[in-house]
Amino acid sequence: MEFSSKLLENAVYEMSQLPGIGKRTALRLVLHLLKQPKEQTARLAEALVNLKDNIKFCKNCHNISDVEVCEICSNPRRDESVVCVVEDIRDVMAIENTGQFQGLYHVLGGKISPMEGVGPQDLTIFSLVDKAKQGKINELIFALSSTMEGDTTNFYIYKQLDGLGIKTSTIARGIAVGDELEYADEVTLGRSILNRIPFENSLKV
């Protein structure tokens, strides 16, 4: 792509670093911003910088939060002995939308993926195992997408909990293999949490 302006080229380059944004889309977005009032672009830039500067991760569940302990973890009506293990905040939002889950979450921040160089130490697994060892958890519900990475992650955590006497279950799969949780409709997702099955039963022999 040949640019008549270095400023334009820089803006397009930075925009194209976002996932799913190719050079053409980046150019379209940048040209769109160029047509907007300056204040709008300033607000966008400010919102992004503010986000990076001020965002916190809940000390307990690692969900994105504006405060030290998120609203879900600090809600006394939630059952802290039941913990749902998810990949990221999108899954928390999807499950919250179903209104069917009254426990807490644990946000892993990804899935174990040797192909992408993501190991257990890159996720919040050790903090989850710590919580489990402190006897705070009675039941752990695995709600990762059922891809190979999701299965590997579930199994890794399951092995770490060996001997702690924690009930482990996995959400029932009304959801096709490989589907991401956030795309599942609320009714299906809600039902798959209610009809969760013991984790052992989900293991392929």
Q: Provide the binding-site residues for Zn ion, judged by CB under 5 A.
A: 58, 60-61, 63, 70, 73
> Taking the complex as a whole, how short is the minimal distance between the CB of residue 73 and Zn ion, in angstroms?
3
Name the minimum Å distance from CB 70 to Zn ion: 3
Residue 74: CB minimum distance to Zn ion, A:
7
Residue placing its CB nearer to Zn ion in the complex, 11 or 107: 107
Least gap, CB of 126 to Zn ion (angstroms): 17
Tell me, letter by letter, the H, E, C secondary structure of the chain.
CCCCCHHHHHHHHHHCCCCCCCHHHHHHHHHHHHHCCHHHHHHHHHHHHHHHHHCEECCCCCCEECCCCCCCCCCCCCEEEEEEEECCHHHHHHHHHHCCCCEEEEECCCCCEHHHCECHHHCCHHHHHHHHHCCCCCEEEECCCCCHHHHHHHHHHHHHCCCCCCEEEECCCCCCCCCCHHHCCHHHHHHHHHCCEEHHHHCCC
Residue placing its CB nearer to Zn ion in the complex, 12 or 94: 94
Give the span between the Cα atoms of 142 and 125, in whole angstroms. Answer: 13
Which is closer to Zn ion, CB of 14 or CB of 130?
A: 130
Q: Taking the complex as a whole, how short is the minimal distance between the CB of residue 197 and Zn ion, in angstroms?
A: 26
Q: Which is nearer to Zn ion, 66 or 116 (CB)?
A: 66
Rank residues 28 and 78 by Cβ distance to Zn ion and give the closer one.
Answer: 78
Q: Smallest Cα–Cα separation from 88: which of 112, 62, 68, 54?
A: 62
Shortest distance, position 47 Cβ to Zn ion, whole Å: 23
Residue closer to Zn ion, measured from CB, 11 or 128: 128
